[in-house]
């Protein structure tokens, strides 16, 4: 190849780059020589390689690039947001506002007592609840996981009014966290 200015070389588009084979020049200042490096190796050197699923699940790297396609693997990224309504009905209505849980199966166990099952396994599960405010009562209502009620494919939850009485609020939102297996 004859010597030529870089600006005089033939252009190459991103889709034409073979990242494992194509090389770019790089000046090694410690040896004061020009060397070559593959595009893949340059990406590693620049820490621009996307995080792996394992890196997202452990969440320990402070330099790995997180792409939208990998973000959902982090344990604290919501895996599902479910709106539970018509809680006095059997079964209640479970609407996935965002979900990786698969098919939902709602069951009403009694007043203020429900089970929500899903098809995709969620390891290391954790949930948060929020109740839509009631317009007909000033009584505070709290939602809890029933003792032993959070599993990898189901959640049993209850709602109490002040004074320990089971109650059916109009709507409960549940946000799921964990690792989709």
Per-residue pLDDT of 84-118, as tens digits, reads: 988 888 889 999 998 888 999 999 999 999 999 99
Per-residue pLDDT of 129-140, as tens digits, reads: 776 655 566 777
Whats the size of the chain, residue-wise?
181
Task: Give the start-to-end residue ranges of the domains of the chain.
Answer: 6-71, 80-180
- With cut-offs at 50, 70 and 90, classify the pLDDT of residue 153: very high
pLDDT value at residue 61: 78
pLDDT value at residue 95: 92
The CA distance from 160 to 110, in Å, is 12
| E-assigned strand segments in the chain | 23-28, 33-38, 80-85, 93-99, 104-110, 113-118, 122-131, 141-150, 154-161, 165-166, 171-180
DSSP letter at 65 equals B
Sign of the CA dihedral with 57 first, then 62, 67, and 71 last: positive
CB 166 within 8 A of CB 113: yes
pTM of the model as a whole? 0.67
pLDDT value at residue 119: 93
User: Rounded to a whole number, what is the distance in angstroms from the first to the last CA of the chain?
Assistant: 52
The alpha carbon torsion through 44, 46, 78, 100 (nearest 10 deg) reads -40
Listed residue (91, 96, 57) closest to 176, CA to CA: 96
């Amino acid at each position: 190849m004859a010597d030529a200015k870089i600006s005089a070389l033939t252009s190459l588009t991103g889709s034409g780059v073979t990242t494992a084979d194509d090389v770019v020049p790089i000046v090694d200042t410690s040896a004061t020589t020009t060397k070559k490096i593959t595009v893949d190796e340059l990406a590693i050197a620049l820490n621009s390689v996307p995080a792996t699923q394992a890196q997202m699940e452990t969440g320990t790297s402070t330099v790995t690039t997180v792409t939208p396609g990998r973000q959902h693997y982090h344990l604290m990224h919501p895996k599902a947001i479910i709106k539970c309504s018509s809680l006095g009905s059997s079964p209640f209505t479970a609407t996935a506002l965002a979900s990786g849980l698969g098919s939902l199966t709602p069951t009403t166990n009694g007043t203020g007592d429900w089970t929500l099952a899903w098809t995709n396994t969620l390891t290391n599960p954790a949930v948060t609840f929020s109740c839509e405010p009631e317009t007909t009562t000033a009584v505070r209502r709290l939602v809890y996981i029933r003792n032993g009620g959070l599993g990898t494919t189901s959640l049993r939850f209850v709602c109490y009014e002040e004074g320990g009485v089971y109650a059916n609020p109009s709507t409960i939102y549940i946000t799921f966290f964990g690792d989709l297996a």
